[in-house]
Structure 1
Amino acid sequence: MQFLSEDLDTYIVNHSENEPELLQQLTRETYQKILQPRMLSGHYQGRILSMISKLINPKCILEVGTYTGYSALCLAEGLHKEGMLHTIDINEELQDFQRQYFDKSAYGKQIHQYVGDAIEIIPLINEDFDIVFIDADKENYANYFELIIDKLVPGGIILSDNVLWSGKVLDTKFKKEDTSTPALIEYNKLLKQDSRVETVILPIRDGLTISRKK
């Protein structure tokens, strides 16, 4: 969903930090070889993820939803020199593609991949997280939140992607088969009402929420 004119959007991108060459290569190959390439975080949102990570300098990051690894690489840019990024995706067919780019980067040894159901995997990761990025199946956003909130350090950040869902969160009626929209509506309410976090929604791309644990 575009909230700004195309010209203004282009201006913003052109006056923000450049996209690293490796991520440009990753974008090109994703569009050439992988289904649903629009799932990529992309240049502008990627630079936002990178900036947030650099400001925090996290020792431990959790990502729920790896896709082809673009957002993981952006978040890894801010990792503490001894930090680790744990990233989970249900699609095992993408694992080798992700690893190829992780190992081309400076952070390959700091990125640990998991394949499978994040609801089952998250409890097995015995770490406290400084940053969590949620960008997976929308129906489980609230479940992911409940699984990670107690593993998030005080002052830690949860980043939730696609929370405006192309504006569908304003719909009062949705198709019966549409399970994502009502799930996101309830998730946004949860973040607003849960006293353990303070939350702001940024109208970036398809909506990005920043929630800070109190």
Structure 2
Amino acid sequence: MSYFDEQLPEMDRYLEQHASSEPEILKSLRKETYQKTTQPHMISGYQQGRFLTIISKILRPEKILEIGTFTGYATLCLAEGLPKGGVITTLDINEELAYLPKKYFAESEFSQQIDFRIQDAKDFLKETNETFDLVFIDADKENYVEYFHSIKPKLKSGSVVMFDNVLWYGKVLQENPKQKSTQVIRQLNELIAADEDFENLILPLRDGVNLLRKI
């Protein structure tokens, strides 16, 4: 039994055993994330990582935007679908942890296609004129609604957006949540469902992924 198998519930272990294999570089990154960070559960991990890769490979996006790099696991998964000349821009504000994703980005076959920036995503979205084919948002939950409004003009028909943690450990079922992050995630899910410019589905993958397609 491996290092990770010991930490998986039975169903998760079954799901991983019946999914495509995880590249060795991601296996090493996942292990180091658990060894060297205080909140390793923030990593996308095996199941979600393979999901991100499949979505990216289906779309073959020229431009990907990721808000919330953490240790770079999801970045490398998304990069697997980049065509030659494609670029993924990934944003984070944690300078102290930046050494870890930088290390693995440099070692990966996608090193020349990853634009890693220590920058506030709100500032980036105000400044950029780029449009994106694929966007993955897994950052500060209290800004999710602002990210949604800011990213919408940066999309074209067929662009795909994914918001992570939209079930928020089941807290979205609370009728009058006191926690700000829960309130914002509930608001986000309601905004997306009511927006006629998108078609969407919330997938109960890990802590929930809201998958949107711009019409």
- TM-score (ref. length: structure 2): 0.93
2:168 is the alignment partner of 1:204: no
What residue identity is the alignment partner of 2:162?
Answer: L
Shift of 1:90: 1.2
2:130 is the alignment partner of 1:127: yes
Of residues 92, 96, 112, the one that matches 2:99 is 96
Structure with more contact order per residue of length (Cα contacts < 8 Å, sep ≥ 6)? 1
Structure 1: how far apart are the matches of 2:162 and 2:120?
A: 19
Structure 1: how far apart are the matches of 2:91 and 2:128?
A: 11
What residue identity is the alignment partner of 2:203?
Answer: L
User: What residue in structure 1 maps to residue 64 of structure 2?
Assistant: 61
User: What residue in structure 1 maps to residue 18 of structure 2?
Assistant: 15
User: What residue in structure 2 maps to residue 185 of structure 1?
Assistant: 186
Structure 2: how far apart are the matches of 1:8 and 1:24?
A: 20
- After superposition, where does 1:108-127 map in structure 2 within 5 Å? 108-127=111-130
Shift of 1:207: 0.2
Structure 2: how far apart are the matches of 1:203 and 1:90?
A: 28
Shift of 1:34: 1.2
User: What residue in structure 2 maps to residue 194 of structure 1?
Assistant: 195
User: What residue in structure 2 maps to residue 38 of structure 1?
Assistant: 41
2:162 is the alignment partner of 1:159: yes
What residue identity is the alignment partner of 2:47?
Answer: Y
Shift of 1:154: 0.8
Shift of 1:123: 2.5
Structure 2: how far apart are the matches of 1:155 and 1:100?
A: 33
Q: Structure 1: any 5+ residue segments left out of the alignment?
A: none
Shift of 1:138: 0.8
What residue identity is the alignment partner of 2:195?
Answer: D
Q: Structure 2: any 5+ residue segments left out of the alignment?
A: 1-7
Structure 2: how far apart are the matches of 1:30 and 1:161?
A: 19
Shift of 1:124: 2.4
Structure 1: how far apart are the matches of 2:188 and 2:114?
A: 28
Structure 2: how far apart are the matches of 1:139 and 1:201?
A: 19
User: What residue in structure 2 maps to residue 72 of structure 1?
Assistant: 75
Give % identity: 49
Structure 2: how far apart are the matches of 1:174 and 1:123?
A: 30
The root-mean-square deviation of aligned C-alpha atoms, in Å, is 1.3
Of residues 141, 147, 150, the one that matches 1:147 is 150
Shift of 1:54: 0.2
Shift of 1:8: 3.0
Shift of 1:80: 1.3
Q: How many pairs were matched up?
A: 208
Q: Which runs of 4+ in 1 moved over 3 A?
A: none
